[in-house]
A and B are shown apart, each in its own frame.
Chain A
Amino acid sequence: MAVIAVAFGAYVYADGSRYLQTIVINSVTIMVVAYSWNLISGYTRYFSFGQVAFCGIGAYGSAVFMTKLHMSWPLGLLAASAVTALAAVPLGWVLLRLRGIYFALGTVALFVALSILATNTEWVGAGQGLPMPLITDFNVILFLSLAIGAVAIATTFAVSRSRLGLRAQALGADEDAVKVLGVRTLNVKLTMFVISAALAGMAGGVAALNAGFVTPTTGFSDPLNTQSIVYTLIGGVGTVWGPLLGTGVAQAIVTQFGPSAAREVEIALGLLIIVIVTLTPAGIVGLLNRVRILRRGVIMRPRRTDRALSVAPGWLRRFAPYDGDAILDCRGVTVKFRGVTAVDDVDLRVAEDEFVAVIGANGAGKTTLFNGISGYVPRAHGTVRLAGRDVSRLDATQLARAGLSRTFQVPRLVDSLTVWENVLLGSLLDSKRREAQDRANLIIDELGLRNVAYATVDRLGPGTRRRVEIARVVATRPRVVLLDEALAGMSTEEIAEVRHAVEALRAWGVEAIVGVEHVLSAVRGLAERMIALDFGRVVAEGSPDDVLEQEAVVNSYLGGTVSEEEEAAPRAAVARRVAGEHAEMAMEVRDLVAGYGQVRVLWDISMNVRSGEFVGVLGASGAGKTTLCRGLTGACTVHAGSVRLEDVDITGRPAHVVTHLGVAHVPSSRELFPDLSVNDNLRLGSVDWSGATTERQLERVLELFPEVQPLLQRKAGALSGGQQQMVAIGRALMRQPRMLILDEPSTGLAPIIVRRLMQALRSLAEDGVAVVVVEQNAVETLRAVDRAYVLQEGRVVFSGTADQLRDNARLAKAYLGSDASAASPATELDAADSLEPRPVAAPPDR
């Protein structure tokens, strides 16, 4: 790099054209600001639209030091850069608490406010600005410019290869997720911000020295702001060479038009931004990368294969073993969302060397419990003690440093980084570089990740991603790990791999593990103890075999049994009228392969549904049920296969078109409009809002769900889970659909409500609607449906009539991981549970 910089500088100098040199000086100023912007916005992903605020501080600082304090210019320049960096500390400390658009506008406000302030401060010359000592030897300016250009590039290069750069990039991708690796995010952001400010300040100072003065408009220059952003975008955001290439190419073109064409040039730049953003957000470097040029080097890639570490029992221990009785002791953990209690007074005590599994159906509060313990959501009540120390008030970063770390239900890795870098990120906590590298290397070997070590994470399959996440957490040398559904949605081989990884943790010195789990078969062999949650409360606790025997647990998974005498008949009559009259239809799915973007979740699904049929699709969590619903209704990416509605091919048609064709979809998250009234919600589902047919249909829906009648004027967001489910189904029925697809309608509902629901659906089917229920609740579903398909790992593993399936051992195995029959005594659960309000959408993970 030095060679090229010197060569280019020498060429410019030797060429001798003052005009070329002037252009180069101006370009270098833009380039340095672009590098400055790139550090905070490209790497750290905090988009600043006011980076020139620091140019202004640097420029005014230089002027004050040189003109008012009579420092020599080199000293003044250094002092000004230092002052800019110092000023960035409190500014960053405040601004970096904002994200996204807030941060962007915060920086705009800073920039404009400072510029107005400078215009009105007599001490810095107000509108007239301040003079600078004029350097008449042009070569001095030229070399100074080339020097700061080199400094900017070198700084970026060094940062991009350092642990700071690694942490900044990771934080830019997913700030909350890196906290569990013990990364002190504010420090990292602030450091990046300060470095970027220092670069901008330096650029501002040199530009002012070149100009011989500074005014509010030149110090806080709007065009410079624009150019630095646009040129980085052209070159490649978040890359070492992007700002250089972008500035070089853009300036080479822009200067051809001369200074008077600036407005036309700005229009062209504006259009260029749009083109780049929509076509190649990665810029020139992104294009070059495609032909394997200028690819980013792997951060801290180890050169040696020999290492000082080896696997020995307990080699990962960071803390002295704890000799108390519960290493993790959580008491009375309660989490509420907007008044809804999602986790209710849960005690969780984990002893040294114990693996505790937390089980429960969807919506039972398992992940929320983890979020509550690990500081992701605020607890309403409850204390958490780790190895005897009260850690209730620590945030995720501090918890990780204290030895409590976690994984996420959907692994939150940094997709743009390699496996090595992801693991290193964890390994660097509290460790020197060499030691961290050694440990990361060893973990990668031991968890079988060696062959993908230098592949970027976005190219990995789900099982491998899960192992990378475990490796990353292990690398922080935690004493307690919370694993959130580490085995969900994986193939048998992958489950075996992850199980191996989990077992390795315990051997290496992780003192205790708590796992939230759906795949009970896998967890059965791993866990010493099991805690079952339902409706946010502990319903059973004990050894796995004991817990899985308990009826409350079985009920919560497979669906409880309710007394046979239910008022099904009147509902059936109502439902018949709701269905209305329409043509026979059938849906045929052939060899469907679908997923999200490049990720495939469903494989070769074939199924068919006819008018009047009630079909169930059963499967455990992560089996691909929701994706199937979306695949049928146009809400995900279809890679192969077809979905036909009679003779209409609806494969990949947008969701609203599928709705128009008569297929109604009730998503598992219900997707009501929380701030609109129930009445509005229902009518929005209709074709024409208030036509005669709609009014009649609304009446019928209210007959089907009389519970909804008194709620019509309430906001949908204020309803309980069961009420919301009824409104969601009612909304879907408003169009008199020919086919109804429901995704996990029983989630969070008491068995008695589920029962009623199924009966209502049954009657709809009898009236000629094709009804598909995608469910985890096998017992209740099989009681109602005609036929069912069983999904496992994205494939249909079994299909048949409800009777065939009901006593089938394979079904039980798919769920509970045992060959034991799922048959259980009939008991009624308290229906009042279902009336507890639930948040409309699941609280977001981040």
Chain B
Amino acid sequence: MSAYVKGLAYLAAVLAASAVVAGCGAGSGSTGSASATSSDKGPIVIGMSASKSGPYSVDGVASLEGVEYAVHAMNQSGGWLGRKLELKVYDDQSDPTKAQQIYQRLITQDHVDFIIGPYAPDLAAAAGAVATRYKYVMLDPETALPIISGSKWAIMDEPAAKQNLDGYPEIVANEGYKTLAILGVNNAYGDECAAGVKEEAQQAGLKVVYTTSYAPDDALNSAAEAIKARGADAVASCSFFSDGVALTRALDRANYKPKVFGLTIAPSKPEFAEAVGNLASGVISNTSWAPSLKTEGNAEFVQGFKAFKGHAPDYHAANNYQSVQVLAAAVDDTQSLDQQKILDKLYSTTYETVIGTFKLSPDALAVGFKEYLYQVQADGKEQKLVYPDDVAEAKVATPYGGS
């Protein structure tokens, strides 16, 4: 028995020691940043988790750049309520668990004043749970899906996934083609987006000859064979970056050129052209934003971003810039940093932003934005808006790969 008691005593000591170590780490951090909120002179801190690495890294970095530029631009014009803005960012490696820990840390230890949501729906859900628990407004400009049902705090702040290829079936039908193959990466985004395309394809009178979902690391050889075997005139693929590349290449290997080729997300990145070369030419893709749009402050945004980052913004940057824009407007309107007041304001007001009209439905979804389609033209060098007609910069050129 005595050995047992002794053992427990040692255990207690070890536990206490580890608790102290952990406590010190946590404690030292919290004293450092607690002063930030208590002082009215210090900067206003915006916290964010970014997917700087992992599967979402390409778009994750682009998103972060939008926020970075927003903070920079707003500091140039005097900050918020006369206080400077400061950005606190951690890398979540595209992992929802890590994203959740990061938002926990941002709110409970770093005591940031505002948060911006992370990239992709699964991370948004993770972060949204934390935001809801601590009653922080979380605008997420990088999820096209509802975040947490019943929560007003976690807000989807971009066009919905289902809208992503809005207009694509119409283009296909208008060009005189009859059959369509629909692919979707096997997650909620892919499913929603593919469902949207399917619905619209039926309205447009197209025949859907093939549908499939696939794992993100699939080389898609067999899918390409299937598309070829069914002779689909057009292909619509709801994919992220790497699987978009894989499909483009697999179709090429199979010697099959659909007449119209629509691909979400991937073609917006310069890395796409790097990976597929001239196969990019003629691909139709979607965007929530384009530099040519005549939206509120868009020209200044494009110019300022270029000057700040040295390259043109893409729609991820614009989406994120928009979220900060909206927050800034709400802070200005309420003259407050109070989360509840800001939330109420967001649900009762509409704001004009670089990507269009910010307007919330009661179930925390942005319903004012539109999705646009563009085509990669001029041998892959340019992206021209082709849909809808009121913003179109060029006419759709088909067939794909015909040149």
Q: Which A residues contact B (CB, under 8 angstroms)?
A: 1, 3-4, 7-8, 11-12, 15, 17-20, 22-24, 26, 116, 119-120, 122, 125-129, 131, 134-136, 138, 211-213, 215, 217-218, 221, 223-224, 241, 244-245, 248-249, 251-253, 255-256, 258-260, 262-263, 288, 292-295, 297
Contact = CB atoms under 8 A, between A and B. Distances in A.
Given A23-B22, A128-B121, A295-B7, A211 B100 contact: yes
Contacts of B377: none
Contact of B97 (A12, A22, A221, A260): A221
A293 B11 CA distance: 9
B275 interface: no
Contacts of B23: 15, 17, 20
B122 A127 contact: yes
B108 A8 contact: no
A248 B98 contact: no
Query: At the interface, is chain A mostly helix, strand, loop or mixed?
Result: helix
A270 to B, nearest CB: 16
Contact of B133 (A3, A212, A294): A212
A814 to B, nearest CB: 47
18 contacts: A4-B11, A17-B109, A19-B30, A20-B23, A20-B26, A22-B108, A120-B213, A127-B188, A138-B133, A213-B129, A215-B125, A245-B11, A248-B14, A252-B19, A258-B90, A260-B90, A293-B7, A297-B3
B125 A213 contact: yes
B101 A129 contact: no
A128 B145 contact: yes
A217 B22 contact: no
Contacts of B102: 259-260
A26 B101 contact: yes
B81 to A, nearest CB: 26
Q: Which of B53, B104, B215 has the most CB of A within 10 A?
A: B104
B129 A134 contact: yes
B97 A223 contact: yes
B10 A294 contact: yes
Interface in B207-226: 213, 215
Given A129-B122, A255-B25, 10 more contacts: A19-B108, A22-B101, A127-B189, A128-B145, A213-B129, A215-B96, A252-B19, A259-B98, A260-B93, A294-B11
A249 B132 CA distance: 31
B151 interface: yes
B394 interface: no
Given A4-B15, A248-B15, A20 B22 contact: yes
Given A212-B129, A218-B97, A245 B22 contact: no
B187 A259 contact: no
Given A134-B132, A293-B7, A245 B14 contact: yes
B186 A120 contact: yes
A351 B23 CA distance: 73
A221 B125 CA distance: 16
Contacts of B105: 19, 22, 258-259
Given A119-B186, A263-B93, A1 B30 contact: no
Contact of A128 (B125, B130, B132): B125
Contacts of B128: 212
The 8 A-B residue pairs whose C-beta atoms are closest, nearest first, are A127-B187, A212-B129, A128-B188, A18-B108, A19-B109, A248-B18, A252-B18, A252-B21
A263 B215 CA distance: 24
Contacts of B101: 22, 26, 259
Contact of A292 (B3, B22, B109, B126): B3
Interface in B1-45: 3-4, 6-8, 10-12, 14-16, 18-19, 21-23, 25-27, 29-30
Contacts of A122: 191
A244 B191 CA distance: 42
A131 B149 contact: yes
B92 interface: yes
B190 interface: yes
B30 A17 contact: yes
B148 A134 contact: yes
B91 interface: yes
Interface in B112-128: 121-122, 125-126, 128
B170 interface: no
Contacts of B352: none
Interface of B: 3-4, 6-8, 10-12, 14-16, 18-19, 21-23, 25-27, 29-30, 53, 90-93, 95-98, 100-102, 104-105, 107-109, 121-122, 125-126, 128-130, 132-133, 145, 148-151, 186-191, 213, 215
Contacts of B92: 259-260
Q: Which of B7, B10, B16, B102 has the most CB of A within 10 A?
A: B7
B97 to A, nearest CB: 5
B122 to A, nearest CB: 5
A95 B145 CA distance: 39
B133 A19 contact: no
Contacts of B10: 288, 293-294
A24 B19 CA distance: 9
Q: Which of A4, A8, A22 has the most CB of B within 10 A?
A: A22
B11 A249 contact: no
Contacts of A20: 22-23, 26-27
A26 B102 CA distance: 12
Nearest to A8: B15
Contact of B3 (A26, A128, A212, A295): A295
Given A7-B12, A252-B21, A262-B98, A23 B122 contact: no
Contacts of A251: 18, 22
Nearest to A261: B91
B11 A241 contact: yes
B159 to A, nearest CB: 17
Contacts of B25: 252, 255-256
Contact of B132 (A7, A126, A136, A292): A136
A218 B7 contact: no
B323 to A, nearest CB: 21
A126 B191 contact: yes
Contacts of A248: 14-15, 18-19
Contacts of B130: 212
Contacts of A259: 90, 92, 98, 101-102, 105
Contacts of A256: 21, 25
A217 B15 contact: no
A731 B4 CA distance: 59
Contact of B122 (A11, A128, A138, A223): A128
A262 B96 CA distance: 13
A420 B372 CA distance: 78
A816 B395 CA distance: 106
Given A19-B29, A215-B96, A218-B126, A127 B22 contact: no
Contacts of B29: 19
A178 to B, nearest CB: 27
A585 B105 CA distance: 76
A341 to B, nearest CB: 53
A20 B109 CA distance: 9
Contacts of B132: 134, 136, 212
B98 to A, nearest CB: 5
A276 B4 CA distance: 26
A217 B25 CA distance: 28
A223 B94 CA distance: 13
Nearest to B93: A262
Nearest to B135: A136
Nearest to B90: A260
A294 B122 contact: no
A136 B26 contact: no
A288 B8 CA distance: 12
A206 to B, nearest CB: 14
A244 B189 CA distance: 40
A218 B96 contact: yes
A211 B7 CA distance: 35
